[in-house]
Structure 1
Amino acid sequence: MTATSARPDTAAGAHHLAKAPAAGERRRPRLPFSPWHLLLAPLALVFAVPLVWLVLSSVMSNAEINRFPPALWPSGIDLGGYRYVLGNAMFPRWFVNSLIVSAVTVAANLVFGSLAGYAFARMRFAGSRVLMGLMLATMAVPFQLTMIPTFLVMKKLGLIDTLGALIVPSLVTPFAVFLLRQFFLSLPRELEEAAWIDGCSRLRVLWRIVLPLSRPALATVAVLTFLTTWNDLTWPLIAINHDTQYTLQLGLTTFQGQHHTHWAAVMAGNVITVLPVLLAFLGAQKTFIQSITSSGLKG
């Protein structure tokens, strides 16, 4: 009885000795965060500096902004730039124009990108690989080579100086098709095959099964398309002439003149312009990261 009861104590002592560090071994200090944060935190601060400087400059006066050496911190809060921007009668119209163009472009890319991406991922037809390669090759063509042909096409359609000229060329992008195709390839076919056995058509399978599982990829396409469309300046500068059709980015250029620039208004306008993009990214941040980590590797 005594020998039997002593066995657990002996086992516990041996387990304790096995866990105890050696006499000459030093215990490594454990950080409360990942060591990568020591590198990523300074990089994040570097990337945040322009945004912080933009916000600080937006509450400076024109005299402070134009002073040399430049002021890094405002002496006081001056909201003159915001009053100038919000008091401009055309600014709400520019905001609505940008919102319309961005919303329609995002919705179109989600719809057409999903249909095309699913076709390339699951349907095999003659020339599908060649067509996919040609579509991806267009991503390597710079916009400067295509803007004149695009302008001529929009002119033939009678869309110049309308919001349609900003929407139609971006209704579907190769990036959206490629990203959604790669994500669809990562989904198991068994789920779709089970739905086909139950009598579902391809469109119903796409709508009921594939798209609900593809929310991370859809959120990524939506955020990146919104970001590109909202911040676009080059194409609106070419296709739009009348100030009632200006987008926000194009409207902000009117605050800059040949002899005088209202820098406080420019900075305040840029802060207001950045806010929707920042809120959209923060809202979709979780699904955006999930898409980046789970797609793009399977061919």
Structure 2
Amino acid sequence: TTEFAFHDFHIHIRFHEVHLDSHNGRFEAFYKQIEDMKFAVSNNIKDGKNDRIFDFEELSNILENDLNIIFANPKRTVNSLTVTVDMNQEPNDELALLDHTAVFQCLEEFLSENGRRLKVQTLNIQFYEYEHVWSILLHLEPGTLQSLNLEYSYRICNASLDYFDEVFQTEQWKALKEFESYSILFRWEYLPDFAHFDRVEMFTVEQFGVERTLLRNPSLDQFTFYIGTWRTHPHSPVDIINHRHNFYNYAKPSEPGWIYFPYPESDKKLALKIDYEYMIFRGPCYVARDDDDKEKVEEDEDEEENHV
């Protein structure tokens, strides 16, 4: 009997690869497609042989067995579950779509037959079909799942929130704390479905009216939107905001460009900065991260080079 006394599993399912990893070498399984519907498998919890060849049906059985080992203990928590597409394939490639759908079907069958919700902290999905998102999301334990990162596989267009009504109603969505996607176009009418998050990063091209809803969430960390280059627009978002609220508050010289909105019946502030292509809200529970200002710094450097 194999016993595991750790909780740092990462499961990465790629278009032509599946990687199960405990990050300490005690559990590792790696499956890689070597030709059409043929897979080479290396797995240190079976008989120790490497590069065994299986077809897709056999791979599905092996993957199911290995996932059962990981989730056999109902108390075990998986750090991350990632399902992505091979980026070397064209998104409109029919074979890529069919193969990718087959992987989702394999995973969904395992989750459905498992009979209980799995403990996963972070879910990362690169999807072709909207059904792929909730086919996995519904089988994860609400509350344990803290973070959801989504990427739409068709690079030439953005996904629409119009198809996410079913997701918004799930227990899992309502209990999430963090959300990130720069390939799903945000629209303001959906803001109430995102207001409970502590941290959000999304893409939007629309203006404006977000601050009033965010002021209802005193545990907000950071809410970030990609809005495109506004400096070429005759009416910048900052001017629009100032016209609406009739005030600027640059009370902190060390943080020029921030506007502060007071929380109701509180001395806490909601900070807003619109810099280059990003609209950034920071709430009372903001926690600095290493990459928060990375894009801003890179754009500053690019501008300096252009002016040399």
Shorter-chain TM-score category? under 0.3
TM-score w.r.t. the length of structure 1 is 0.22
**Which one has the bigger strand percentage?**
2
Higher relative contact order structure (alpha carbons within 8 Å, sequence separation ≥ 6): 1
Looking at CA atoms only, which structure, 1 or 2, has the larger radius of gyration?
1
Return the structure number with greater helix share: 1
